[in-house]
C-alpha cells in the first residue's frame, strides 16, 4: 500500500510536465508538416518547364520527320517570342497561321496575335496591322491587341480609331505607359485637350523623361488658355537639343502675345542657339523675334533680323514690306515717334508740327485730344500778316490707307469746334473716296511725302525724345 501510494504521488508529480512536452512535440510536428506540404504544394504548382536545349532538341527532332509539325513549331515560336527573337518568332508563327485552317487544335487567335506582335517588333507595320486586325475580329477585348493596334492606328494618323482602341486598353491596364501616351497624343490631335491632358499627365508620372509628351501637355494647357502652366513647361524644354527650338518658339509667342517683350526676346534667342533646328522654325522664330524688337522699339535690331530673313528666304510673309518700313523708321527718329512711340511723345511731336506747320505765322495751341492712340486732334489759332483762322489738325498714326469715314468724322469735328479749315496728316495714303469727299470742303490732305518733308525740316527733335 505504501508503494502504491508512493507510485501515485510520483505520477502526479510528472504528469503535467510530460503533458506539456507531448503538446510541444505534437505542435512542432504539425508545424513542420504544414510547412513541408505547403512548400511542396508551391513547388508542384510551378510549371515544369523543359530547359531551352531540350525544347530545341525535341522540336528539331520532330521537324526533321515533319517540317510542319504543329506541336514543334508552336514550342519553337513560343520560345523565340519569350526570348525576344522576334524575327524567328515571326517566321514560325507565319507557318502556324497557314496550319490553322486544317488543324482545329491550334489556337488561331494566339498564333495570329503573336505573329502580329512579332511583326510590330520587327517594324513590319503592314503585316502587324493586318494580323492584329484579324485577331481583333476573334477577340475584341484583348489588351495587347487593342493597345498595339491603337498604336499602329496612331502611326497611320487615324487618330479617332487609335483613341477608340486605346481607351479600352487603358481601362484594362490604367498604368500601361504606351497606351496612356498614345491615347493622350491621339486625343490632342483630335483637339480633345482636356481628356488628352488627363492621359498625358498620367503617362508623364510613369515616364517623366518623355519630352514629347511633356511638350504635348504644354500645348494642351496653351489651348485651354492655362498659359501659366504652359509657359513653365515650354521654358523648361527650351534647352532640350531636340524639342528645344519649337518649345522656345511657343514660349516666346506666348510672352509676345502677353506684351512681355523682354522674356519673348530671350526665348527666341535661346531657341536660335540650337544646332539642330529646322529651317522653317528658324525663319518663324526670327520673324517673331523681329516683331518683339519692333514692339520694344529696337528698330536697329529688328531691321537686322528682317534682313537676315530676306537674305535666306526672299519674300517670306510680309518681310519685304516690313523691311522697307522699319528701315525707313530706323533712319528717321521723328517718323518713328509719329508712328510708334508712346502717346505722350506722339502728342508732343504733333504739337510741334502744328506750331510750325504754317510758315511765318504765330500759332497758339487751343486744344489737344487723342483718340485711342490712333490719331490726335490739335486745335490751333493761326495768325499771319494777311489772315487769322482757327485750324484743326488731325494727325493719323498709320502707314495704310485712309478712307472717307475718317474725313467725315473730321468734318463734323471741324464744325463742332467752329474751325475755319482742317488738315488731315498721315504717313499713309488716301483713298479715291477720301479725295472726292474733300473736293468741296476746306480740308487739306497731307500724305507721307509731305509729312516726311515737315519732319525732316524740323529744326530740333521733341524734347521728350
393: closest CA among 379, 407, 408?
A: 379
What's the pLDDT score for residue 373? 84
Residue 109 lies in a domain: no
Residue 169 lies in a domain: no
State CA 107 to chain mean position distance. 44
Other CB atoms within a 10 A radius of the CB of residue 75 amount to: 19
**Which residues span the domain enclosing 394?**
343-457
Among 57-61, 190-194, 204-208, 230-234, the least confident range: 57-61
What's the pLDDT score for residue 372? 86
- H or E element, residue 9: helix 2-45
What's the pLDDT score for residue 27? 57
Other CB atoms within a 10 A radius of the CB of residue 384 amount to: 13
Residue 245 lies in a domain: no
Residue 64 lies in a domain: no
What's the pLDDT score for residue 51? 83
Average pLDDT, the chain: 88
Number of domains in the chain: 1
pTM over 0.75: no
Taking the CA atoms of 311, 314, 317 and 318 in sequence, report the sign of the dihedral they define. positive
How far apart (Å, rounded) are the C-alpha atoms in residues 183 and 202? 11
Residue 406 lies in a domain: yes
Residue 149 lies in a domain: no
What's the pLDDT score for residue 357? 93
How far apart (Å, rounded) are the C-alpha atoms in residues 71 and 65? 13
Residue 370 lies in a domain: yes
Q: Quick one: pLDDT band at residue 38, thresholds 50, 70, 90?
A: very low
Taking the CA atoms of 129, 131, 137 and 143 in sequence, report the sign of the dihedral they define. negative
How far apart (Å, rounded) are the C-alpha atoms in residues 62 and 417? 110
Q: What is the pLDDT of residues 145-180, one digit of tens each?
A: 999 999 999 999 999 999 999 999 999 999 999 999
Residue identified by cell 476573334 is: 138
How far apart (Å, rounded) are the C-alpha atoms in residues 201 and 422? 63
If you count them, how many residues does the chain have?
Answer: 465
380-385, long-range: CB < 8 A, 24+ apart: 380/354, 380/355, 382/358, 384/358, 384/360, 385/360
Q: What is the pLDDT of residues 98-141, one digit of tens each?
A: 998 889 889 999 999 999 999 999 999 999 999 999 999 999 99
Residue identified by cell 498604336 is: 151
Residue 405 lies in a domain: yes
How far apart (Å, rounded) are the C-alpha atoms in residues 249 and 342? 28
217: closest CA among 186, 239, 188, 237?
A: 188
CATH number at residue 434: 3.40.1350.10
Is the CB of residue 271 less than 8 Å from the CB of residue 244?
A: yes
Q: What is the pLDDT of residues 405-415, one digit of tens each?
A: 999 999 999 99
Query: Taking the CA atoms of the chain, what radius of gyration do you get in angstroms?
Result: 43
Amino acid at each position: 500500500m505504501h508503494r502504491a501510494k508512493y507510485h501515485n504521488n510520483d505520477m502526479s508529480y510528472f504528469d503535467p510536465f510530460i503533458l506539456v512536452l507531448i503538446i510541444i512535440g505534437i505542435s512542432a510536428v504539425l508545424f513542420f508538416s504544414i510547412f513541408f506540404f505547403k512548400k511542396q504544394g508551391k513547388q508542384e504548382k510551378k510549371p515544369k518547364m523543359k530547359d531551352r536545349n531540350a525544347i530545341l532538341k525535341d522540336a528539331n527532332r520532330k521537324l526533321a520527320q515533319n517540317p510542319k509539325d504543329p506541336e514543334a513549331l508552336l514550342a519553337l515560336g513560343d520560345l523565340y517570342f519569350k526570348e525576344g527573337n522576334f524575327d524567328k518568332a515571326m517566321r514560325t508563327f507565319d507557318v502556324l497561321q497557314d496550319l490553322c485552317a486544317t488543324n482545329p487544335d491550334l489556337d488561331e487567335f494566339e498564333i495570329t496575335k503573336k505573329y502580329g506582335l512579332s511583326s510590330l517588333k520587327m517594324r513590319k507595320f503592314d503585316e502587324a496591322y493586318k494580323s492584329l486586325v484579324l485577331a481583333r475580329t476573334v477577340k475584341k477585348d484583348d489588351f495587347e491587341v487593342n493597345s498595339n493596334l491603337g498604336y499602329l492606328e496612331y502611326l497611320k494618323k487615324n487618330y479617332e480609331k487609335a483613341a477608340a482602341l486605346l481607351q479600352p486598353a487603358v481601362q484594362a491596364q490604367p498604368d500601361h505607359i504606351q497606351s496612356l501616351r498614345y491615347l493622350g497624343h491621339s486625343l490632342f490631335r483630335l483637339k480633345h485637350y482636356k481628356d488628352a491632358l488627363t492621359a498625358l499627365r498620367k503617362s508623364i508620372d510613369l515616364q517623366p523623361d518623355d519630352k514629347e509628351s511633356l511638350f504635348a501637355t504644354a500645348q494642351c494647357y496653351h489651348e485651354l488658355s492655362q498659359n501659366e502652366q504652359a509657359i513653365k513647361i515650354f521654358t523648361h524644354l527650351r534647352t532640350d537639343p531636340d524639342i528645344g527650338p519649337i518649345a522656345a518658339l511657343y514660349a516666346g509667342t506666348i510672352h509676345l502675345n502677353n506684351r512681355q517683350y523682354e522674356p519673348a526676346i530671350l526665348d527666341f534667342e535661346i531657341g536660335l542657339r540650337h544646332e539642330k533646328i529646322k529651317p522653317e522654325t528658324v525663319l518663324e522664330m526670327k520673324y517673331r523675334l523681329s516683331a518683339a524688337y519692333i514692339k520694344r522699339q529696337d528698330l536697329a535690331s529688328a531691321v537686322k533680323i528682317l534682313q537676315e530673313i530676306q537674305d535666306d528666304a526672299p519674300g517670306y510673309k510680309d518681310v519685304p514690306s516690313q523691311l522697307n518700313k522699319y528701315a525707313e523708321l530706323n533712319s528717321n527718329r521723328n517718323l518713328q515717334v509719329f508712328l510708334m512711340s508712346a502717346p505722350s511723345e506722339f502728342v508732343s511731336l504733333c504739337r510741334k508740327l502744328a506750331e510750325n506747320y504754317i510758315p511765318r505765322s504765330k500759332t497758339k495751341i487751343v486744344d489737344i485730344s487723342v483718340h485711342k492712340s490712333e490719331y490726335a486732334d490739335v486745335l490751333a489759332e493761326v495768325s499771319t500778316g494777311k489772315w487769322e483762322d482757327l485750324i484743326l489738325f488731325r494727325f493719323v498714326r498709320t502707314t495704310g490707307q485712309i478712307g472717307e469715314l475718317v474725313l467725315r468724322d473730321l468734318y463734323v469735328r471741324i464744325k463742332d469746334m467752329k474751325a475755319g479749315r482742317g488738315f488731315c496728316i498721315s504717313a499713309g495714303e488716301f483713298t479715291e473716296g477720301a479725295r472726292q469727299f474733300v473736293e468741296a470742303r476746306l480740308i487739306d490732305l497731307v500724305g507721307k511725302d509731305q509729312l516726311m518733308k515737315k519732319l525732316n525740316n524740323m529744326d530740333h527733335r521733341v524734347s521728350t525724345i
